[in-house]
A = this chain, B = another copy of it.
Amino acid sequence: MIRISLLGAGRIGVIHALNAKANLNVDLRYIADPREEAARDLAEKVGAKVVDVNAAINADDVDAVIIATSTNTHAELSHAALNAGKAVFCEKPIDLDINSASGVAEHVQQSGLPYFVAFNRRFDPSFAALQRGLSDLGKLEQLVITSRDPSPPPVEYIKVSGGLFRDMTIHDFDMALWLLNEPLRDVHAIGSCQVDPAIGQAGDIDTATITLTTVSGAQCVILNSRRAAYGYDQRVEAFGARGMLQAHNIKPTQLHRFGAEGENSDRLEDFFLQRYAAAYQAEMAAFVQALVTQSPMPVSVQDGVNALKLANAAYASLEQGKPVGF
């Protein structure tokens, strides 16, 4: 039985709490959140106790800490949890600053403690099946990752988000590194403001096309947009010597309507909470399973650092208007 404290009772904290609760190997003991009411509501729901953040981290009867707070606190809380000798499940990203993220990675290495970066997409059943299928595909030659949010977040959020590449594409960078599974040679990022000029005024872009090349010559394209009128568009396509693998989108129902206007089916799932419900469950299970069996974490702190490095390289390319080495 893994005993866990949860830091953060917001939208994603609720998801992790429910999945932890449903896991028969987890005893979710403590929840901490400065917004006391949120903490209390969630604690009641899952039978946990509300405590302050220090108590949650340092409790003697706790083995692991889930960090689901706002991004700017991830590094500090990671250090605190590691200092307390706890295993860590940290929402992505570790930090928006590469030095800070690397500092956490060093701390993890010194401590020898398990640290899991919650790149949930790796645990999506279709993407996971695609990854397993790569071994039958022959040499991976091209990879296309399509990732479009249904609509942009408020500009206030954009301003503190770290920018498109560190906030949104970071997931796709992790997917690319995971699937390509070989060192990159260079990165080329193209970006523009196609969705909302206010995003541009905030110094960010909302539409991007990023190409990665590997040392063996494989080519990867990431397509990003902050807008998709038809729902949350999340696909992967891999091309190899023996064929192609496609992981398609998911829709709420399998209903098809045929009328004079043709065939119609649902919009895609609204957004990440619906689309990745199974992935969130599976990542919690994977984290707990690794602790129970004392196996290496399926996503390491270094994976979190690498995705952030790639985001930084993409920004360098965008600014210079040309590919940069990686």
Tell me whether A259 and B239 are in contact (CB under 8 A): no
A312 within 8 A of B: no
Determine the chain B residues whose CB is within 8 A of the CB of A243 once the complex forms: 228-230, 257-260
Tell me whether A242 and B262 are in contact (CB under 8 A): no
Determine the chain B residues whose CB is within 8 A of the CB of A171 once the complex forms: none
Q: Which residue of B lies closest to A260 (CB)?
A: B229
Tell me whether B218 and A246 are in contact (CB under 8 A): no
CB distance from A260 to the nearest CB of B (A): 5
Contacts A141-B225, A211-B209, A263-B265 given: A255-B244 contact, CB under 8 Å?
Answer: no
Name the prevailing secondary structure of the A interface residues: mixed
CB distance from A300 to the nearest CB of B (A): 25
Determine the chain B residues whose CB is within 8 A of the CB of A219 once the complex forms: 190, 192, 207-209
Tell me whether A148 and B239 are in contact (CB under 8 A): yes
Determine the chain B residues whose CB is within 8 A of the CB of A159 once the complex forms: none
Contacts A142-B207, A262-B230 given: A245-B254 contact, CB under 8 Å?
Answer: no
- The segment out of A5-13, A56-64, A84-92, A126-134 that lies at the interface is A126-134
Which residue of B125, B217, B251 contacts A193 across the interface (Cβ within 8 Å)?
A: B217
A267 within 8 A of B: yes
A163 within 8 A of B: no
A203 within 8 A of B: no
Contacts A141-B207, A261-B264 given: A217-B192 contact, CB under 8 Å?
Answer: yes
Chain A residues bordering chain B, tally (CB within 8 A):
70
CB distance from A62 to the nearest CB of B (A): 20
- A104-141: which residues lie under 8 A (CB-CB) from chain B? 125-126, 129-130, 133, 139, 141
Determine the chain B residues whose CB is within 8 A of the CB of A296 once the complex forms: none
A74 within 8 A of B: no
Compute how far the CA of A24 lies from the CA of B125 in the bound complex, rounded to whole angstroms: 27
8 more contacts with CB within 8 A, not counting A18-B22, A262-B264, are A190-B211, A194-B218, A207-B217, A223-B239, A227-B241, A228-B239, A230-B259, A246-B258
30 A–B contacts, CB within 8 A, in A order:
A125-B252, A130-B255, A141-B225, A142-B225, A148-B239, A188-B190, A188-B211, A190-B211, A192-B217, A194-B218, A207-B217, A208-B219, A209-B221, A221-B223, A228-B239, A228-B243, A228-B244, A229-B241, A229-B259, A230-B244, A231-B258, A233-B244, A243-B260, A244-B257, A245-B255, A245-B257, A246-B258, A262-B266, A263-B264, A322-B322
